[in-house]
Amino acid sequence: MIEDVQVLLDKENEEMLFNQRTERNSNFNFGAYHSLEEFSTGGNKPAIWLDAGIHAREWVTQATALWTANKIASDYGNDPSVTSILDAMDIFLLPVTNPDGYVFSQTSNRMWRKTRSKVSGSLCVGVDPNRNWDAGFGGPGASSNPCSDSYHGPSANSEIEVKAIVDFIKTHGNVKAFITLHSYSQLLMFPYGYKCTTPDNFDELDEVAQKAAQLVTSLHGTNYKVGPICSVIYQASGGSIDWSYDYGIKYSFAFELRDTGRYGFLLPAKQILPTAEETWLGLKAIMEHVRDHPY
């Protein structure tokens, strides 16, 4: 039996501080970490949401998100633009939105797309988490068949992966941009997907997306197509950026990263770094616009 938990905590704190001093310039070490007292939630600053990997098999998105997190942290204090973005706003980045599906795609079925939740009354497993949002739920482009890769689930937000994000966004209350990374097709899209009508601020969204796409192309020549989901790719209901836009987050964008089909989901590892590098240019352009156009 532990007689005094505080004694153990104090001892661990001493060890952690020692490790921080001796290994400050080394790589990540589980023995050297920041205490909770060092962290700040940023209050209620305006925020940008960025997620990746909502579809398990889209591996280049999770890798790109991790690279992006490192880029943002490394550039703060060095890149004036990144520094000003982070001084004005918080960035919440979720690199693996569908962790159970991601692991399953690595261990059992490389082409797995959905979550791994059990479906009542069916032997088939999982829900398409990008058909599960409360935005035209159950409409065109989604399936009621539990065995389909586009199965929308029993109800909107039934998947914990989706509900957790919805709850976070609503609780925060000051998210100004919602960006999600998918693959593949080389597209930069904005609402709508569940209906084929243009959003109220179409001209602004199109201008921002066109600029971002041009910057993506400028690095390695990767061409992107820009426009609303319904016209650029296909009609699809229950998608995340349709929900975020209808919720009032007017800067809502979805990237479809490399490539256009030669490798598809099986993008070679050697393309991860150039994909991340070019995507960052587009992401930063969007973030700069959000910073400069508060609402």
Q: Cβ of 172: how many Cβ atoms within 10 Å?
A: 16
DSSP assignment string, 56-95 = TT-HHHHHHHHHHHHHHHHHTTTSHHHHHHHHH-EEEEES
**278 classed as catalytic:** no
Q: How far apart are CA 290 and CA 250, in angstroms?
A: 10
Single-letter amino acid code for the residue at 55: H
Given 58, 159, 161, 256, which residue is catalytic?
256
Q: How far apart are CA 275 and CA 295, in angstroms?
A: 31
Single-letter amino acid code for the residue at 213: A
Would you state the torsion angle of the CA atoms of residues 245, 65, 157, 170, taken in this order, to the nearest 10 degrees? -60
Dihedrals φ, ψ of 32, to 5°? -125, 105
Active site (catalytic) residues: 256
